[in-house]
Structure 1
């Protein structure tokens, strides 16, 4: 946007250099970081003056140190969305379909999370119903899946009259480990064409449910992980950095060819959004590391998971999410296993039994006596290892 405004004005020579995506991404990062850092401090101070006006209401889970978290301001995710949106609007091209998809994902899931947090603060601690959240995630996944499949992947402008796709059926993505001359490409049409090649044109039957499943699973996974100071924000920062680097490689025809990744035209603009989000996440960590001075709430955690899912699909790297977002997936799976086993044992033995001391999984380790700061640090180390593993599987 800023490049468009100043492109014909010679006396704005520095701003005209913002045609460099790297420079715009770097400036967007610092702008987002500064805006968020100031806003978080203002919220913390305001909450103290108002005597816990938007303070977190902690449920009694029998965990050490939970009482100290009572009254800590929540809904920090609002600042995440605001600072990221401002930086993206200023420095990115709003004609790029990928940027629009990311902004749409952030705003829709941010609104859902905000409603959930608002209900928790004003009315009851449960917030929105589980089905209400899942339904919103399904609808968002359906929207993103349709845009990704039925709209062009090579046309930068959403204002172009040829925006609707007239291309061959199928949707190609990246399959890790299996190197081929086609840069590790895998087509979703495989799931249907192995039985009948005529069914290839119905690939959307496989692809769109995949988007919905990952969107729902990852958004809830990030939400469930947000139970220890700094955990979700710290893990997400590394995930965003990994996906940002992959998007930079995939947007360049030379780099993508040498490193065996799918070349995706016009992908470089999303790095501005990614760096903006990383900036606000790092500033949030400044106040959220133990002992936390502010929480992101569902406004932030639901949004983070959904944006990561959309970013992965845009990069054609969704099949590596179980590895890259392994902690989010494990946290989610631990809850599912606990609930299913409890119901099964109650039905069979008449009394509900548990596999874990408490779920999500990080609470299990808290119950074992681990300090939440140690859990946070070790999860960060695990996430770094997972990110390096992703590069090994994709590039080598």
Structure 2
């Protein structure tokens, strides 16, 4: 929005042409989101508290969490507002990839909002049923997956339509351009061809899976938000590289026109996330709830797909992966063994709490692990 204004002003005043630089707009997006979060945070918390939108702490959880009962939740709305406004202000409004990311972010945020609203306002501890929640997530994920299957290899939406029509008329062939191959980290000339259906299936799993993984991780003060900021910022670097033909060719990545604009979204996520952490740090004044966690996970998954870094996302977001696996392992073993457990409690952050770690220790150590994993992920830019 502001880009168009500055481009118009730049025709007469050269100083405004500096805003054509993507790097500057990314910095401004982060600062704008940070400012929105800081300014709107206190009022948002007061409103949530006045509306009695407090988190009900489960009685079978760690006893130290009982003091959190009634803490305002649904604070993820603050994150969505900060990301949305900042991105719209500083993005290139004609960029289709940014709109896809915003569609997934706001769509998953809506699903989380409905779930939180039913739990808190309607006092329904179940919220949305698992089938209903997964159904809406699946619908959003499938729409994004099918579009991206063609958009990754097409320069604009007109070509996307032509590709879809040609795909249908030719009998649904499986082949796809090499741009859509699955990139294997640390290997220079090895990528796995997915085909149309393979790409859609993988993209669906990445987007929906990451959304739910971040949601499962969001169980301690600040635990989910900083890893999301770190991983999102690193994905912005990959998107920037693949949106520049010179960088992409030098580092042997596919050149994806328009992908670089995603750095604005990632920067806005970083700014919004850091602002939210100010209020979510222990002892938390507000929780993000499903409205924030589902949306953030969807954002990370979608950016990773567009940047062709699904496996690197799994590396950098290792904490999210482990948290999800701990729940899957615990649930499966509990059923098969007739009530026995692998962990003291799942997700695994609760296991460490019951082992004697303080909440701040768990959170800080998980942050450190994420920082290390993000550095490993970034090393794949050159170590190939």
- Indicate whether the TM-score tops 0.5: yes
Q: CA deviation at 1:13?
A: 4.6
User: Gaps (5+ residues) in structure 2?
Assistant: 168-172
Aligned residues of 2:45 and 2:75 also touching (Cα < 8 A): no
When normalised by structure 2's length, the TM-score is 0.91
Q: C-alpha distance in 1, partners of 2:3/2:218?
A: 37
Equivalent residue, structure 1, for 2:139: 139
Aligned residues of 2:138 and 2:204 also touching (Cα < 8 A): yes
Aligned residues of 2:152 and 2:256 also touching (Cα < 8 A): no
SS in 2 for 1:65: helix
Task: Choose 291-300 or 127-136, whichever is displaced more.
Answer: 127-136
Q: C-alpha distance in 2, partners of 1:268/1:254?
A: 12
Q: CA deviation at 1:287?
A: 0.9
Deviations 1:133-158 (A, max 9, x none): 222222222111111113363425x4
Task: Choose 113-122 or 127-136, whichever is displaced more.
Answer: 127-136
Equivalent residue, structure 2, for 1:33: 34
Equivalent residue, structure 1, for 2:47: 46
User: Structure 1 residue 375 and structure 2 residue 362: aligned?
Assistant: yes
Aligned residues of 1:75 and 1:297 also touching (Cα < 8 A): yes
Q: CA deviation at 1:64?
A: 3.6
Aligned residues of 2:231 and 2:313 also touching (Cα < 8 A): no
SS in 2 for 1:265: coil
Equivalent residue, structure 2, for 1:118: 117
Q: CA deviation at 1:12?
A: 5.6
Q: Compared with structure 1, are the counterparts of its residues 67 and 316 closer, same or farther at alpha carbon in structure 2 (3 Å cutoff)? A: same
Aligned residues of 2:104 and 2:141 also touching (Cα < 8 A): no
SS in 2 for 1:269: helix
User: Structure 1 residue 71 and structure 2 residue 45: aligned?
Assistant: no
User: Structure 1 residue 391 and structure 2 residue 375: aligned?
Assistant: no
SS in 2 for 1:292: coil
Q: C-alpha distance in 2, partners of 1:212/1:47?
A: 33
SS in 1 for 2:255: coil
Equivalent residue, structure 2, for 1:300: 292
Q: Compared with structure 1, are the counterparts of its residues 47 and 8 closer, same or farther at alpha carbon in structure 2 (3 Å cutoff)? A: closer
SS in 2 for 1:95: coil
- The within-5 A match list for 1:208-219 is 208-219=200-211
Aligned residues of 2:154 and 2:160 also touching (Cα < 8 A): no
1:178 to 177, 187, 203: 187
How many aligned positions are there?
A: 370
Equivalent residue, structure 2, for 1:94: 93
Q: C-alpha distance in 2, partners of 1:268/1:207?
A: 21
Q: Compared with structure 1, are the counterparts of its residues 179 and 152 closer, same or farther at alpha carbon in structure 2 (3 Å cutoff)? A: closer
Q: CA deviation at 1:339?
A: 0.9
Aligned residues of 1:44 and 1:73 also touching (Cα < 8 A): yes
Q: CA deviation at 1:112?
A: 0.1
Aligned residues of 2:87 and 2:265 also touching (Cα < 8 A): yes
Equivalent residue, structure 1, for 2:148: 148
Equivalent residue, structure 1, for 2:59: 60
Q: Compared with structure 1, are the counterparts of its residues 367 and 85 closer, same or farther at alpha carbon in structure 2 (3 Å cutoff)? A: same
1:223 to 187, 204, 215: 215
Q: C-alpha distance in 2, partners of 1:362/1:12?
A: 54
Equivalent residue, structure 2, for 1:17: 18
Q: C-alpha distance in 2, partners of 1:90/1:375?
A: 37
Q: CA deviation at 1:227?
A: 0.3
Equivalent residue, structure 1, for 2:252: 260
Task: Choose 169-178 or 265-274, whichever is displaced more.
Answer: 169-178
Q: CA deviation at 1:334?
A: 0.8
Q: C-alpha distance in 2, partners of 1:13/1:87?
A: 24
Equivalent residue, structure 2, for 1:341: 333
Q: CA deviation at 1:185?
A: 3.9
Equivalent residue, structure 2, for 1:2: 2
Q: Compared with structure 1, are the counterparts of its residues 379 and 11 closer, same or farther at alpha carbon in structure 2 (3 Å cutoff)? A: same
Equivalent residue, structure 2, for 1:192: none
Equivalent residue, structure 1, for 2:345: 358
Equivalent residue, structure 1, for 2:170: none
Deviations 1:233-268 (A, max 9, x none): 011111011101111222222222222322222212
Aligned residues of 2:150 and 2:160 also touching (Cα < 8 A): no
1:242 to 225, 228, 234: 234
Structure 1 vs Structure 2 CA RMSD: 2.0
1:289 to 281, 287, 302: 281
SS in 1 for 2:214: helix
Equivalent residue, structure 2, for 1:193: none
2:162 to 161, 164, 170: 164
Equivalent residue, structure 2, for 1:199: none
SS in 1 for 2:346: coil
Deviations 1:253-307 (A, max 9, x none): 2222222322222212111111011100000011111110111000000111111
